[in-house]
Structure 1
Amino acid sequence: MDVKRTFLNGYLKEEVFAELPPGFQDKEFPEYVFKLDKALYGLNQAPRSCFDLKGYSDADFGGCSIDRKSKSTTYTEKILNRIRSLGAKKLSYAGRLTLINSVLNTLYNYWANIFIFPKGVIRRIEAVCRNFFWDGCAEYHRVPLVKWDTITLPKNEGGLGLKNVTISNTATVAKLVDWLYCKADRLWIKWVNQIYLKQQDWHDYEPTADVTWTWKSICKVKELMKPAYADGQWMPDTRGYTVSRGYDWLRLHQAKPIWFGTVWSNWNTPKHSLISWLIKNNGINTREKLFRIGCSNSDRYCVCEAAPETQEHLFFECGYSKLIMNQIRDWSKLQLLVTRDIRTAGSTTQQGVYALVLTDSYYHVWVQRNNARINAVLVSPKRVVQMIKDSVRHRIKVKRNDHMSSVDMNWLCTLEN
């Protein structure tokens, strides 16, 4: 048996013994040898040993395969179990967004650096993350309020900054493609050159029909990334390939929306920003929208019953909302409640406070609308205005610092009184 070749690529079940390296022999037992207990990190036998220890198949983990395409759901089950343990049903959208970025995406990023995920597993991962964001659980049977393709855009392009798992997986696999272009001094590269490339030029290489699914996947990614390489270098005018640069190169880019500064100002309360983002993406389930698809018996706004409940009527045209907005405008001297464009504000501090007031107003009007519809209770405009003021004052106390100008400080003092 060719032990070296089998250890690198085969299904090694035999007991393996190795000589002690020079300087490590036991003086009392110089004839002793090591018995292989665990595979060495970085070689193909390492993950196989991991699978054996964890009870998985020796060629199957995380829904993907070492040398063949697999339909296993082991990895997605890990995410589902994590979701069940989070208990996020009552979290706001902002809380769920944070958990997806900090917990679920971390799980994916770790394993994506080790395995290539089949398309079926990627679709399942996206479905689980999408369902968790909208409903706090793994299953969600209603139509999402905003397209997932929009959600996975960066915030400065109209999205929420979540990763597109399909593109992320391609960008991660492209790291292997870049190693082959750069002829990196790695054991895996030497093995690939010996088994597959055999002195062929990587840029023009085409796989044969009898190669493994994993190798075919790497070659497909290479064809996709070809336009970015010149003379074996990733975009020669840059600092080389990284997964984040590859992701940015692969994804579609959108223009920066004019409302970006208003919705995502660092003055805003995160959950208020999410509601404002939904409004800007027409993601609010108004009665007019529900009536059009047959999910409501009326399109009238439940507060005034005077007109169809559109976003424009709900937040700006209804007498209830208009009274709230006018009182907040008079209190804050905020004409942006009419123009809704933060760019017409003055200093950076004023822009931040204007965004804060606007998003807080959106949020509290929306809460009162839901309260009226679900609980048949409507709080007076005067009380809602006071709640908005209290919320704004609290954030001002948190965000105030000594670097603000005296004009801004005096203006903030007037809002706090």
Structure 2
Amino acid sequence: MFVIPNATIKRVEAICRNFLWDSSSEYHRVPLVGWDRVTLPKDAGGLGIKKASIWNIAAVGKLVNWIYTKSDRLWIKWVDNVYLKGSNWHDYKPANDASWTWKSICKVKEKIKDGFIDNLWYPHQKGYTIGNGYDWLLGTHASQPWSVIVWNDWNIPKCSLNSWLIMQEGINTKAKLFAYGVCTDDRCILCETQTETSDHLFNYCDFGKQVHELIEEWIGRSIPTINELMITNRNNMKWKAMALIQTTYRYCVWTQRNRARHELCVERPVIVFERMKKMIRSQVRRKYPNRDGRSDFDAVGSLMRFLN
């Protein structure tokens, strides 16, 4: 609840941003996704990381709320006696010779005062909290329909993060690198026939198609696309299993593409499939240990083959 100087907040956010992309507090890599998008809620397309600048305003807002509600605290009585002197807090303006901290608190009051009606915080009946103050300051953002697929609770975490990057166009495909002048051509390194974009890699690449066919042969049914998953029932096990397959498939194809680029080694599709199969089987066992044959797992239907 202390007022943190802007320079300090910027440094804190820089450390968080650099650590996210490079596991270091110093700047070494260009961020793949802008910080403003990273700090959005997950359902709005972000990672749900709190933005320090907004969080500090919300935290100082707790002091503002205490003054609004005339909380029975010694500090509030001191503020009323030294600064307010009976003034209406909602319309109060600090004097020019007031302290920096008090002026900063008053600036925060101006930013959040529209959230107070009759000196009470109106969005939540339980009163002001730093959490609901942060949400109010962050505002509303359009929900991204793909977020439920990316953050499906059946997914493997590293596959979820990889799929999030893909959805945000954050992966460095050859098309992007070629536009930056980093590589000499933009041909797909796996099939060498078309421009390597994320859409090509995961939907049209011959290498990916072969992996896809092996998966469908394994589970005995076709796999819904990401767009199809967005519009189907999201509350059953079969949907969660399909989301798990899609995110794991994208992770395995992307890691194979990176290995082909950096190690000049393209494995056969069946090897990538076996690796993916092992990851999926392990994740299903983790979600449903020792449940082979039970009715709740039977709802997955042909996906019972995961454990065979």
With normalisation by structure 1, the TM-score equals: 0.70
Q: 1:176 aligns with which of 63, 77, 85?
A: 63
CA change 1:236–1:389 in 2 (3 A) is: closer
Partner of 1:305: 192
CA deviations 1:165-215 (Å, max 9, x no partner) are: 111010001000000000001111111111111121211211000011100
Give the Cα–Cα distance (whole angstroms) in 2 for the partners of residues 263 and 340 of structure 1: 14
Give the Cα–Cα distance (whole angstroms) in 2 for the partners of residues 116 and 232 of structure 1: 22
Q: For 1:302, what is the secondary structure of its paired residue?
A: coil
CA change 1:236–1:380 in 2 (3 A) is: closer
Give the Cα–Cα distance (whole angstroms) in 2 for the partners of residues 181 and 298 of structure 1: 62
Cα offset, 1:139, TM superposition: 1.7
Give yes or no for the alignment of 1:161 onto 2:161. no
Mapping of residues 136-285 of structure 1, within 5 Å:
136-235=23-122, 238-285=125-172
Cα offset, 1:257, TM superposition: 1.1
Give yes or no for the alignment of 1:351 onto 2:242. no
Cα offset, 1:226, TM superposition: 1.4
CA change 1:406–1:318 in 2 (3 A) is: closer
Letter in 2 for 1:202: W
Give the Cα–Cα distance (whole angstroms) in 2 for the partners of residues 326 and 412 of structure 1: 15
Q: Is the 8 A contact 1:152 1:164 kept in 2?
A: yes
Q: Is the 8 A contact 2:155 2:244 kept in 1?
A: yes
Mapping of residues 16-415 of structure 1, within 5 Å:
113=1, 115-235=2-122, 238-332=125-219, 333-337=221-225, 339-344=227-232, 348-400=236-288, 405=296, 407-408=298-299, 410-415=301-306
Q: For 2:172, what is the secondary structure of its paired residue?
A: coil
Give the Cα–Cα distance (whole angstroms) in 1 for the partners of residues 149 and 210 of structure 2: 22
Give the Cα–Cα distance (whole angstroms) in 1 for the partners of residues 36 and 210 of structure 2: 37
CA deviations 1:75-120 (Å, max 9, x no partner) are: xxxxxxxxxxxxxxxxxxxxxxxxxxxxxxxxxxxxxx3x211111
Cα offset, 1:409, TM superposition: 5.4
Find the structure with the greater CA-based Rg.
1
Give the Cα–Cα distance (whole angstroms) in 1 for the partners of residues 18 and 123 of structure 2: 41
Cα offset, 1:347, TM superposition: 5.6
Q: For 2:299, what is the secondary structure of its paired residue?
A: helix
Q: For 1:336, what is the secondary structure of its paired residue?
A: coil
Give the Cα–Cα distance (whole angstroms) in 2 for the partners of residues 119 and 347 of structure 1: 44
Q: Which stretches in structure 1 are left out of the alignment for 5+ residues?
A: 1-112
After superposing on structure 2, the runs of 4+ consecutive aligned residues of structure 1 that deviate more than 4 Å are 401-404
Give the Cα–Cα distance (whole angstroms) in 1 for the partners of residues 168 and 227 of structure 2: 18
CA deviations 1:49-70 (Å, max 9, x no partner) are: xxxxxxxxxxxxxxxxxxxxxx
Larger relative contact order, structure 1 or 2 (CA cutoff 8 Å, min sep 6):
2
Cα offset, 1:229, TM superposition: 1.0
Q: Which stretches in structure 2 are left out of the alignment for 5+ residues?
A: none
Q: Is the 8 A contact 2:188 2:196 kept in 1?
A: yes
Q: Is the 8 A contact 1:265 1:352 kept in 2?
A: yes
User: What percent of counterpart residues are identical?
Assistant: 44
Q: Is the 8 A contact 2:203 2:209 kept in 1?
A: yes
Q: Is the 8 A contact 1:154 1:160 kept in 2?
A: yes
Q: Is the 8 A contact 1:228 1:235 kept in 2?
A: yes
CA change 1:293–1:381 in 2 (3 A) is: same
After the TM superposition, which of the residue ranges 332-341 and 154-163 deviates more from structure 2?
332-341
CA change 1:400–1:409 in 2 (3 A) is: farther
Give the Cα–Cα distance (whole angstroms) in 1 for the partners of residues 140 and 111 of structure 2: 17
CA change 1:364–1:192 in 2 (3 A) is: same
